Amino acid sequence: MSVFSRFAPRLQQAIVAQLGWTSLRAVQEDAGEALLAGDNAIILAATAGGKTEAAIFPMLSRFIEDPPDGVGALYIAPIKALLNNQSERLGRYTEMVGLRRFVWHGDISDAQRRGFRKAPAELLLTTPESLEVMLVSPRVDAARLFTDLRLVVIDEVHALAGSERGAHLMSVIERLARLSRHDPQRVGLSATVGNPDAILEWLRGSSRRAGRVVDPARAPGRRQLLVAHRPDLLALARSAAHLAKGQKSLFFCQSRATTETVAETMRHAGTAVFVHHSAVSREERDLAEERFQRGSDACIVCTSTLELGLDVGDLDRVLQAEAPETVSSFLQRMGRTGRRAGQAANTTFFCTSTESLLQAIALIELAKSGWVESVAINPRCWPVLIHQLLALALATDGVTVEMAWDQLSRVPDFRDIRRGEFERLLDWMRHDQSLRLTAGRLVLGPKAERLFGRRHFMELYAVFASPRSYQVETIAGEPLGTLNQTFVDRLVEEVSCFLLGGRAWVAFRLDHAARRVLVEPAPRGRQPSWGGFLPQFLGREICARIRRILAEEETFGYLDPSAVEILVEQREAMRGVLASGTDAIEVSDGELRWWTFAGGRINATLRYAIEVVAAEWTVIPSNFLIKIRGDDLNLQGFRSRIERLGDTAFWHDEGLWTDVAASLPNYRLSKFQPLMPPWVEQEVLAHSLLDVDGVRQWLTGSNAGAMRNWFSLQCGLAEAGLVPPLRAEPASEVGRGWPE
């Protein structure tokens, strides 16, 4: 018996008569089996592959036969724009069977909210933060509203899992589960995730339901890919304007500054252009989406704001300036095309740097192999635990310690925080006056009220601060632009060099209190330590694939002639470095360069490890290599010091890594950091900036033996006089960064 035949007759009739469907897609049949059986589920399908209907139709069928009292189902999206985008579609589905939906977020008027509270719709569309507001607000009777909650659907679940927003969402869902008389069914929707079973386990939380990953086989689709090299941003924008002419396209850029520059150039070339990024007003973004949907010759130049499943109508092309950081982002963006019959999904990369060109090739090749990033869940998410303690204290007349532990220990993102650690945190927060214990109940203390009490605790509802920027100025006070905090976190004073405004600068002073970076011009010939116009922190798999691309002779049919020429030149430049097939180390000009191709976080962690064994050295990590400088640096000394890194005990020395964590700069990573005890803050910083487990895996894999063999060979040859010892000599172009 098909799933369609098991739907309520009224829903079957509406699907045929109003939607014109004669059958369900495979993902909808498979998901229907799981959801009608009562399972929790992760539903995977390509963008526009029918995931929303797969989750909603079984719910509609049940609600027709047994209407809920209050809100029966929640549809949660990571951004308001996606809610607004889905509102019309979900409104059509509910209305065609006599049910209702309501959208609740910060832009909804008080009058509309009052109407909803009086007569709740069966389906509520909202964001994690708006759910928090509902649970904390004295004007919302959450117990009555959610007593019959049966289903929670999380769209774009990969964008939330593994993040602080995801931990917050799971905390809120667990609080809702306590209010409902059911065990609410949990459903996550995604087009791209590498570890769906782990995401399903995370989503399950305290639910007792069985779980199922719905991932039907997909017919291979046509793909059209092009990676083109352009010498600069102006040439890039002109090429994009020519390609976009007469078509509807999305042009993804990796920064707001690039977005504005590209859009202006394309306008002058005669293209109808709309800009869409987080600094553009909501009204302007809405207008761009509306006009774009009606047009046939237009381009939206955007950042990642249009990466998630927003429907901007049929697209002809996806364009990309440089390359995104992940395979997941690449697939999400390409998936916006190829929806019409006979159309191929497509992406055209325009790359101005060698690094971004290689990155684009690596993303494509990893995607072709079927690899997508896994989402790592952090089971010790302290910032959200602190937030939830404040929220529980605010939502009622306080909360007992036992009630708080019982509630929060159910959340998977707090799973590894032990009861003793929890109570130690509470003791600190009481001592610090963030919380008070009154009549056996935890209530907000004066420090938390001072920090978050403005505008009726709206600062507390807005759980996570937006990514902050640092102003970049010359020593003379001339403003140059901004850098995001994640990049500033990895700068080393008087060492790190980066590009801004097309010029190379050295970070002279980092003023974290004033959120300012003072710079001076980089000396002639000194190249940026991270390369590229927009610094990116790449993962191990992408960097390893770039190494493979450079070491092999494979040709790629999607490269334009200029890109082919750049690839050939780069392979030739790196040939001597990579010829041994082991970890490549080159020495010149008093500097040792270790080409690890291990990725940004692993190399940053290796930096701290090397500084432990050789405090007198200056260590500069990047995505692909680690540079080491020092007055007494020599090959034999480097070998003797670095051998400790191959010792497993070194990486399991908790005392050592506690000391390393204590030495990390006190970067502001969370708006709740002022409430953290020092030992929690230290752990949060270490988790954000270090990847000790990743280094362990990297060193215990093939790299470990290769590293030891290389050192033994080189030092043996040096001692025999067959190769010269480390000495000052002209630096090769390769050693300075990606040669252009």
Q: pLDDT of 305-330, one tens digit each?
A: 666 655 555 678 999 999 999 999 99
Lowest mean pLDDT among 323-327, 513-517, 530-534: 530-534
Distance between CA atoms of 35 and 723, rounded to whole angstroms?
68
Q: What is the mean pLDDT of residues 534-563?
A: 89
DSSP code at position 137: -
Q: What is the mean pLDDT of residues 595-617?
A: 89
pLDDT value of position 717:
38
pLDDT tops 90 at residue 66: yes
pLDDT tops 60 at residue 353: yes
Tell which residue, 453, 445, 447, 192, has the closest CA to residue 327.
Answer: 192
CATH 1.10.10 domain span(s) along the chain: 382-461
pLDDT value of position 726:
36
488-499 in b/e form (b: 16+ CB < 10 A) is bbbbbeeebbbb
Distance between CA atoms of 736 and 740, rounded to whole angstroms?
11
pLDDT value of position 648:
79
pLDDT top residue among 128 and 343: 128
pLDDT value of position 296:
66
CATH 3.40.50.300 domain span(s) along the chain: 3-214, 223-368
pLDDT tops 60 at residue 281: no
pLDDT value of position 541:
95
Furthest-apart CA atoms within the chain: distance in Å: 88
DSSP output for 319-380: EEES--S-HHHHHHHHTTS--STTPPEEEEEEESSHHHHHHHHHHHHHHHTT--PPPPP-S-
CATH 2.30.30 domain span(s) along the chain: 466-534
CA–CA–CA angle 593, 599, 601 (5° rounding) = 105
**Pairing mode of beta strands 516-521, 503-511:** antiparallel
What is the separation of C-alpha 565 from the centre of its chain, rounded to a whole number of angstroms? 33
pLDDT value of position 9:
96
Confidence class for position 261, pLDDT limits 50, 70, 90 = confident
pLDDT value of position 120:
96
- Measured CA to CA in angstroms, residue 566 lies from 335, 356, 357, 597 at distances of 28, 11, 9, 19
pLDDT tops 60 at residue 12: yes
Is 1.20.120 the CATH number for 382-461? no
pLDDT tops 60 at residue 710: no
pLDDT value of position 709:
46
Confidence class for position 113, pLDDT limits 50, 70, 90 = very high
CATH entry, 466-534, from 2.30.30, 1.25.40, 2.160.20, 3.40.91: 2.30.30
pLDDT top residue among 114 and 464: 114
Give me the chain's average pLDDT, please.
Answer: 83
Q: Please, which residues have CB within 8 angstroms of residue 606's CB and are 6 or more apart in sequence?
A: 596, 598, 621, 626, 645, 695
pLDDT value of position 180:
97
CATH of domain 223-368: 3.40.50.300
pLDDT value of position 539:
92
pLDDT value of position 59:
97
pLDDT tops 90 at residue 703: no
pLDDT value of position 159:
87
CATH entry, 3-214, from 3.50.50.60, 3.40.50.10860, 1.10.357.10, 3.40.50.300: 3.40.50.300
pLDDT value of position 299:
85
CA–CA–CA angle 670, 672, 674 (5° rounding) = 105
The DSSP H or E segment spanning 153 is strand 151-154
Most confident of 409-423, 439-453, 698-712: 409-423
pLDDT value of position 530:
39
Most confident of 394-403, 545-554, 595-604, 730-739: 545-554
Tell which residue, 311, 347, 344, 342, has the closest CA to residue 331.
Answer: 347
